[in-house]
């Protein structure tokens, strides 16, 4: 966007500090209870919006701040670094997937209807692609949208929907022409409060316990034709075009989460004693920390390079896949290495490292599995 405000480093530091102050007051005192409740409260979205931490790079004409993408990265970085993986995941979907889809693909009416209230936190966004029988293979989806006059009648179900319980809108992928395969998929912006839309149970997960992840069902819901997002039959193409930002932000969060784990571990190894000495004095500990630091720096440099390319408008799908693959695989390895250095205490839920360990695992699955990332990267090298 030509009207994006460029910020200097001092302004970025101030913004980063403001995010951390918000987390210290509004999240840290309550997060353990949210994890036990297995959902964080709906009002955190309003608080995030009031503080200016939602959809920060949206245009001012819709109530945004015309900020650079870097500020959206800072929000996700600080939430991830602090160990709030479930909140980082929900924020990413809302601000870095749903809002950009509407901004980049939507009509003026759609942008004016949805984006301003997403910025304030009045509306929460979600995206519906995955089905019980169709995950990475989006062409296998069964949710149908049948044209009926000026409306489409949609039937089907989706699963693993981040923000599914809190959502006010969902970007829904459905088949408008099953015979056309990928060319028969269309995206819709659907109001989650219309008749026939049912929110299923909040799913119990291995990690991201306070994250809102749900099943949703559609029974003869009627959606106006003017809520098609990006053109009929162009859903698969639009999904592929929008995925690079999603995968890039997962790389951003992966590196930041690993930095958080590393910081806790360095501090712990200096304090924890064994055989009369701090375990940070043992060669094995020092070598593991050195390896983690090296991998962190390598991945951080890669993420920074690709963030710059994205902001310049020339990040490729293969590069986004490289970023996501490298950073999330590294994150999981660091989680394992750090937990090991905590020893038995690392296995206790009272220590943040145990939560970070289970939270990290899904990073290699959602947004495209590591195996899918490798396939996409290989296609850019040798073709299909």
pLDDT at position 8 is 84
Distance CA 296, CA 254 (A): 10
The tokens for 79 are: 């939430």
> CB within 8 A of 92, min separation 6: which ones?
76, 246, 249, 250, 253
How many C-beta neighbours within 10 Å does residue 188 have? Answer: 24
Contact (CB, 8 A) for 262 and 338: yes
DSSP strands (E only) in the chain: 125-128, 144-148, 151-162, 169-175, 185-191, 197-202, 213-224, 228-229, 273-274, 277-278
> CB within 8 A of 294, min separation 6: which ones?
none
Whether the per-residue pLDDT at 6 is higher than 90: the answer is no
pLDDT at position 149 is 94
Mean pLDDT of the 212-235 span: 95
Helix (H, G, I), strand (E, B) or coil at 298: helix
Mean pLDDT (the chain) is: 94
Whether the per-residue pLDDT at 217 is higher than 50: the answer is yes
Whether the per-residue pLDDT at 299 is higher than 50: the answer is yes
Distance CA 254, CA 370 (A): 13
Distance CA 45, CA 27 (A): 12
pLDDT at position 3 is 60
Instruction: Quick: pLDDT tens for 309-324.
Output: 999 999 999 999 999 9
Greater confidence (2 vs 211) lies with 211
Whether the per-residue pLDDT at 79 is higher than 50: the answer is yes
Instruction: Quick: pLDDT tens for 255-281.
Output: 999 999 999 999 999 999 999 999 999
Q: Which of 1-5, 202-206, 364-368 has the lowest mean pLDDT?
A: 1-5
Instruction: Quick: pLDDT tens for 105-159.
Output: 999 999 999 999 999 999 999 999 998 877 666 777 899 999 999 999 999 999 9
pLDDT at position 1 is 44
Find the farthest-apart pair of alpha carbons in the chain and give their distance in angstroms, rounded: 79
pLDDT at position 2 is 46
Distance CA 116, CA 320 (A): 28
Q: Which residues of 209-232 are buried (b: 16+ CB within 10 A; e: fewer)?
A: bbbbbbbbbbeebebeeebbbbeb
The tokens for 1 are: 């966007």
Whether the per-residue pLDDT at 14 is higher than 90: the answer is yes
Helix (H, G, I), strand (E, B) or coil at 216: strand
Whether the per-residue pLDDT at 35 is higher than 70: the answer is yes
Supply the pTM of this predicted model. Answer: 0.93
Whether the per-residue pLDDT at 7 is higher than 80: the answer is no
Instruction: Quick: pLDDT tens for 164-193.
Output: 999 999 999 999 998 888 889 999 999 999
Tell me if residue 242 is catalytic: no
Nearest CA to 211 out of 26, 354, 39, 37 is that of: 39
To the nearest 10°, the Cα dihedral for 8, 11, 16, 17? 150
* Cα-based distances in Å from 244 to 130, 172, 239, 277, 330: 18, 18, 9, 47, 19
- List the domains of the chain with CATH numbers: 9-124 (1.10.540.10), 127-232 (2.40.110.10), 236-382 (1.20.140.10)
Distance CA 99, CA 117 (A): 10
pLDDT range class, residue 308, cuts 50, 70, 90: very high
Among the listed residues 70, 77, 78, 246, the single catalytic one is 246
């Amino acid at each position: 966007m030509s009207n994006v405000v460029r910020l200097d480093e001092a302004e970025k530091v101030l913004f980063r500090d403001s995010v951390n102050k918000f987390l210290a007051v509004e999240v840290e005192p309550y997060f353990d209870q949210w994890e036990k409740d297995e959902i964080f409260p709906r009002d955190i979205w309003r608080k995030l919006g009031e503080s200016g931490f939602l959809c920060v790079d949206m245009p001012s004409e819709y109530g945004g701040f015309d900020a650079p993408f870097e500020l959206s990265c800072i929000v996700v970085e600080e939430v991830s670094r602090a160990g709030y993986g479930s909140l980082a995941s929900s924020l990413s979907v809302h601000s870095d997937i749903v809002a950009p889809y509407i901004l980049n693909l939507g009509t003026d009416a759609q942008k004016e209807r949805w984006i301003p209230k997403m910025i304030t936190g009045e509306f929460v966004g979600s995206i519906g692609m995955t089905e019980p029988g169709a995950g990475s293979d989006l062409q296998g989806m069964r949710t149908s949208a049948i044209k009926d006059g000026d409306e489409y009648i949609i039937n089907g179900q989706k699963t693993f929907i981040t923000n599914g319980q809190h959502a006010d809108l969902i970007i829904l992928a459905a088949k408008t022409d099953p015979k056309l395969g990928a060319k028969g998929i269309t995206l819709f912006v659907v109001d989650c409060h219309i008749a026939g839309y049912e929110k299923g149970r909040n799913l119990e997960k291995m990690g991201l316990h306070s994250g809102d992840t749900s099943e949703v069902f559609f029974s003869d819901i009627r959606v106006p034709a003017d809520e098609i997002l990006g053109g009929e039959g162009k859903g698969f193409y639009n999904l592929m075009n929008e995925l690079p930002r999603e995968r890039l932000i997962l790389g951003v969060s992966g590196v930041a989460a690993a930095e958080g784990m590393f910081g806790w571990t360095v501090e712990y190894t200096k304090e924890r004693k064994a055989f009369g000495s701090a375990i940070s004095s043992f060669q094995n500990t020092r070598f593991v920390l050195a390896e983690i630091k090296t991998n962190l720096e390598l991945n951080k440099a890669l993420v920074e390079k690709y963030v710059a390319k994205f902001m310049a408008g020339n990040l490729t799908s293969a590069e986004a896949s490289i970023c996501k693959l490298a950073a999330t695989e590294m994150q999981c390895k660091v989680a394992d290495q750090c937990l090991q250095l905590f020893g038995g205490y690392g296995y206790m839920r009272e220590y943040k490292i145990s939560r970070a360990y289970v939270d990290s695992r899904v990073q290699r699955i959602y947004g495209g599995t590591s195996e899918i990332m490798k396939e996409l990267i290989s296609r850019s090298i040798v073709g299909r």
